[in-house]
Structure 1
Amino acid sequence: MARKLRRNGTTKQSERRVAVTSAVGRMTLKEMHLQFMRFKRVEGLAPRTLDDYENHFGYLCDYIGGDLNKSEMTAEVFLDYKDYMLNERGFSPHTVNVRVRTLHSFLKYCYEEGFIVDQLHKKIKTVKAPIDNVESLTPMELKQIFSVIDEDWYTGFRDKVLLLVMLDSMARIGELVKATRNNVDLKHGAIYLGADTVKTRQGRTVPLSYKTTKMLSEYIDETAEYNTTTLFVTYDGSPISDNTVRKRFKDYAHKAGITKQVSPHVFRHTGALLYLMNGGDPFSLQKILGHKDMTMTRRYVQMSNSDVKSQHEAFSPINSIFNK
Structure 2
Amino acid sequence: MCEMFERFMWLKQSEGLAPRTIEEYRIHFQWLQDYLGQDLSREQMTLELFLDWVDFMLNDKCLQPTTVNIRVRTMRAFLCWCYIEELIGEPVHERFKPIKTAVDTIEALSVAEIKTLLSSFNDNTFVGYRDKVMVMVLLDTMGRISELLAMKRSNVDHKTGTIKLEAMNTKTRKAREVPLSTKSLKLLKEYMNESEDFNEDTLFLTYDGREMLSKTWRTSLHEVAGIAGIKKTVRPHVLRHTGALLYIMNGGDPFSLQKILGHSDIQMTNMDIKRQHNSFSPLKNEFK
The two structures have a TM-score, normalised by structure 1, of 0.64
Tell me which moved more, 163-172 or 278-287.
Answer: 278-287
- SS of residue paired to 1:59: helix
Structure number with greater Rg is: 1
Contact kept? 2:161, 2:182, Cα under 8 Å:
yes
| Equivalence map 1:275-290=2 (5 Å) | 275-278=247-250, 280=252, 285=257, 287-290=259-262
**Alpha-carbon displacement from aligned partner over 1:281-308 (angstroms, at most 9, x marks no partner):** 666545434469xxxxxxxxxxxxxxxx
User: 2:135 matched to 1:163?
Assistant: yes
Aligned Cα RMSD in Å? 3.8
- C-alpha displacement at 1:224, in angstroms? 9.3
Write the distance in 2 (CA, Å) between the matches of 1:38 and 1:118. Answer: 23
Pick aligned residue for 1:82 from 42, 54, 58: 54
* Residue number in structure 1 paired with 2:183: 211
- C-alpha displacement at 1:128, in angstroms? 1.6
- The structure-2 alpha-carbon separation of the partners of 1:72 and 1:180, relative to structure 1 and needing over 3 Å to count, comes to closer
- C-alpha displacement at 1:40, in angstroms? 1.9
Pick aligned residue for 1:98 from 66, 70, 76: 70
- C-alpha displacement at 1:32, in angstroms? 1.6
- C-alpha displacement at 1:154, in angstroms? 7.4
Write the distance in 1 (CA, Å) between the matches of 2:246 and 2:25. Answer: 33
User: 2:99 matched to 1:110?
Assistant: no
Pick aligned residue for 1:195 from 167, 179, 182: 167
Tell me which moved more, 116-125 or 222-231.
Answer: 222-231
* Residue number in structure 1 paired with 2:12: 40
Write the distance in 2 (CA, Å) between the matches of 1:290 and 1:135. Answer: 21
- SS of residue paired to 1:188: coil
- The structure-2 alpha-carbon separation of the partners of 1:107 and 1:146, relative to structure 1 and needing over 3 Å to count, comes to closer
User: 2:9 matched to 1:52?
Assistant: no
Higher RCO structure, 1 or 2 (CA under 8 Å, sep 6+): 2
- The structure-2 alpha-carbon separation of the partners of 1:127 and 1:240, relative to structure 1 and needing over 3 Å to count, comes to closer
- C-alpha displacement at 1:61, in angstroms? 3.1
- C-alpha displacement at 1:183, in angstroms? 1.0
User: How many residues are paired up?
Assistant: 263
Write the distance in 2 (CA, Å) between the matches of 1:210 and 1:287. Answer: 20
The two structures have a TM-score, normalised by structure 2, of 0.71
**Alpha-carbon displacement from aligned partner over 1:119-140 (angstroms, at most 9, x marks no partner):** 2221212212111223542210
- SS of residue paired to 1:105: helix
- SS of residue paired to 2:178: strand
- The structure-2 alpha-carbon separation of the partners of 1:274 and 1:120, relative to structure 1 and needing over 3 Å to count, comes to same
Contact kept? 1:190, 1:207, Cα under 8 Å:
yes
* Paired residue type of 1:83: D
Contact kept? 2:136, 2:184, Cα under 8 Å:
yes
Contact kept? 1:173, 1:242, Cα under 8 Å:
no
| Equivalence map 1:213-252=2 (5 Å) | 213-217=185-189, 222-223=193-194, 226=197, 228=199, 229-232=201-204, 238=209, 241=212, 249=221
Contact kept? 2:17, 2:168, Cα under 8 Å:
no
- SS of residue paired to 1:213: helix
Unaligned segments of structure 2, at least 5 residues: 265-288
* Residue number in structure 2 paired with 1:181: 153
Write the distance in 2 (CA, Å) between the matches of 1:157 and 1:190. Answer: 21
Contact kept? 1:184, 1:191, Cα under 8 Å:
yes
* Paired residue type of 2:135: L
Contact kept? 1:173, 1:265, Cα under 8 Å:
yes
User: 2:104 matched to 1:132?
Assistant: yes
Contact kept? 2:120, 2:224, Cα under 8 Å:
yes
Contact kept? 1:174, 1:242, Cα under 8 Å:
no
Write the distance in 2 (CA, Å) between the matches of 1:269 and 1:195. Answer: 22
Tell me which moved more, 146-155 or 163-172.
Answer: 146-155
* Residue number in structure 2 paired with 1:15: none
- C-alpha displacement at 1:77, in angstroms? 2.4
Q: State the identity as a percent.
A: 50
- SS of residue paired to 2:103: coil
Write the distance in 1 (CA, Å) between the matches of 2:50 and 2:101. Answer: 19
- SS of residue paired to 2:167: coil
